[in-house]
Amino acid sequence: MNAAVLTEPAAAAGQWRQCWLRLRRHRAAVVALGVLGLVVLAALVVPLVSPYDFATPDWDELYHPPDASHWLGTDALGRDLFVRVMWGCRISLLVGIAASLVSVLIGVVWGATAGYSGGKTDSLMMRSVDILYTVPFIPLVIVLTVLFGRSFLLVFVAIGAVSWLDIARIVRGQTLSLKNREFVEAARALGLSNTRMIFRHVVPNLLGVVIIYATLTVPTVILFEAFLSFLGLGVHAPLASLGTLVSDGANHMKSHPYLLTVPAVFLTLIVCCFSYLGDGLRDALDPREQR
Amino acid sequence: MTVLNFLGRRLMIAVPTLLVIATLAFGLLHATPGGPFDSAKQIPPEIKHSIEAKYHLDEPLWRQYLRYLNDLAHGDLGPSFQYRNTSVNELIRAGLPVDAVVGSLALLAALLTGGVVGTVAALRRNGPWDHVPMFFAVLGISVPVFVTGPLLILVFAVRLHWLPSGDWRGGEIRYLILPVTALALPYTAYIARMVRGAAIEVFTSPFIRTARAKGLPTRIVVLRHALRPVLMPLVSFLGPAFAGVLTGSIIIESVFGLPGIGRYFLTGAINRDYTLVVGITVLYGVLIILFNLLADLCYAWLDPRVRLQS
């Protein structure tokens, strides 16, 4: 104990190592991580090595059923579905991860500041979170995307701005319980500035919770983007996210069901894996909440 | 804090919240270029001018805003721009019952199935009765409605011809089954997981051990002692969930072709029907606030330890 406290970097490394070991015991999370890795790898590599392009129509190959030349068939414009789905994975993952980072950033800064400041600042900041909770965001985002056209950036910002509320609340709660701990008091006694206190001493101790919630935010963001794309408000054609592909597939499902099922399977797979990974991380990083 | 006091304070927050929502929606729509009457057809300028005068679009923005707020305070959401001679109130009155029927049936189904599955999983913890349903629960949460909806249509309407693939027909049961199922699935999964978690916590707590030690049969222990604390987290979930079912049914409506308010909202947003879009957004805000309030009241009523705070 004493030695571990004295050599802090080593202790920190040990803590992460322990988390990794605990995570590895969580079989579902390990499988999820592996599957995610495969999907990411495929999404990166397949469009590079495939002879087909995601955008160029091939009028001789419309609705080509899955076979050796087109592994997952072609769509209504003769475009290779495998390549399109892999591009869809790229875009969905990119949107999911980038927007989650945005929301985590806003949420952590907001929550940590509110929790650490306390008093009037805290109640004002959290009251505004309460108000934002009751704003019907789905309609507002729809209005935004309709008004400003379908911009890729807007989708990022809109989703990121919507999903930081939960993280802000959780981070604030954790900060409240952290700020009266001895090490924070010791740091305060050393005369550190508030900003330094928040970002050097409070935020690093929140890392575990933040990682868990970031992992769990990614699937919700991916689903939200897919939702927008399904309504025709997502990314531009010919580029397609998984949501657009599902939406296209739904239009052709009566004659060619694979156009719906293939992107649907990939979407589900990605979202499922992130959920399992989040569960595993929760057990690994937060041993108090063992269920 | 008394209940009346609590209600008063919540209302005091609700009014500025609604004001923020209305202002945000109003401001967004009016801040961007383009109006509801200057798109497709070429209308002679004088006719366009008289139409705009009829809807007060020629006035300065602040007057339009104040006029809108004044009407809003009287419960009047104004005339719709795209549906001539129809007010937004009438459109909502026509559409909301559809969403309410589908939404409440879906939540009811989700509550019953999810509750039973979650309780059984908690009682048979770590057995196949736990793992298999919980796997499907993760799947149910992960698969979005716009995937399950078309898949249900594909299987039960296109292939098996058991049920119609869409339409409303005044809420005939045959037409309700598929949309209600599709909407209920993710909520069922969520409730099952929540009930399982809560039930495990409750079943291992001392008062249940005491009840068992007294020699009470499991049925009595579950129904009389464990049920209430297990239901607690559900109550706070159901309030927002009901509002979410009503606001989030846009997808269900477009997949199954139901005439609910979500469809009006979507066409309204695309056609720049200012009043319709702002009106429905405000309505959604009211619903969210209302159901959160109801959930909090139920929560306090079920659990005497909880004190009402605003």
Query: Under an 8 A CB cutoff, do A140 and B281 touch?
Result: yes
How does A132-142 read in b/e, with b if 16+ C-beta sit within 10 Å? bbbbbbbbbbb
Neighbouring residues of A1: CB distance < 8 A, sequence distance ≥ 6: none
Grouping H, G, I as helix, E, B as strand and the rest as coil, residue A74 is strand
> Please, are residues B26 and B20 in contact by the beta-carbon 8 Å criterion?
no
Residue of B nearest to A144 (CA): B28
Reply yes or no on whether the pLDDT at A8 is more than 60: no
Measured CA to CA, the distance from residue A263 to residue A197 in angstroms comes to 46
Grouping H, G, I as helix, E, B as strand and the rest as coil, residue B38 is coil
Distance from CA of B274 to the nearest CA of A (A): 10
Residue of B nearest to A132 (CA): B17
- What is the predicted ipTM? 0.72
Residue of B nearest to A143 (CA): B269
Which of A92, A146, A252, A288 would you mutate first to test chain B, the one with the most B CBs within 10 A? A146
In one-letter notation, the amino acid at residue B77 is L
Query: Under an 8 A CB cutoff, do A267 and B147 touch?
Result: yes
Distance from CA of A267 to the nearest CA of B (A): 8
Query: Under an 8 A CB cutoff, do A276 and B281 touch?
Result: no
Query: Under an 8 A CB cutoff, do B24 and A146 touch?
Result: no
pLDDT tens digits, chain B, 310 residues: what are they? 677 887 887 788 788 888 888 887 788 777 766 666 665 566 677 777 777 777 777 777 788 888 888 888 887 777 877 777 788 888 888 888 888 888 989 999 999 999 889 988 988 888 888 888 888 888 888 888 888 888 888 888 877 878 777 777 776 777 788 888 888 998 999 889 888 888 888 888 888 889 889 888 888 888 888 888 888 778 878 877 887 787 667 888 888 888 888 888 888 877 777 788 888 888 888 888 888 888 888 877 777 766 665 4
What is the DSSP annotation of A80-127? BHHHHHHHHHHHHHHHHHHHHHHHHHHHHHHHHHHHHH-HHHHHHHHH
Which tokens go with B140? 């149910």
Query: Under an 8 A CB cutoff, do B247 and A226 touch?
Result: no
Q: Would you state the pLDDT for residue A73? A: 73
Which of A31, A126, A128, A134 would you mutate first to test chain B, the one with the most B CBs within 10 A? A134
Contacts across the A-B interface (CB distance below 8 Å)? 114
Of A167, A174, A144, A168, the closest CA to residue A156 belongs to A144
Task: Report which DSSP code applies to A257.
Answer: T
Distance from CA of B211 to the nearest CA of A (A): 23
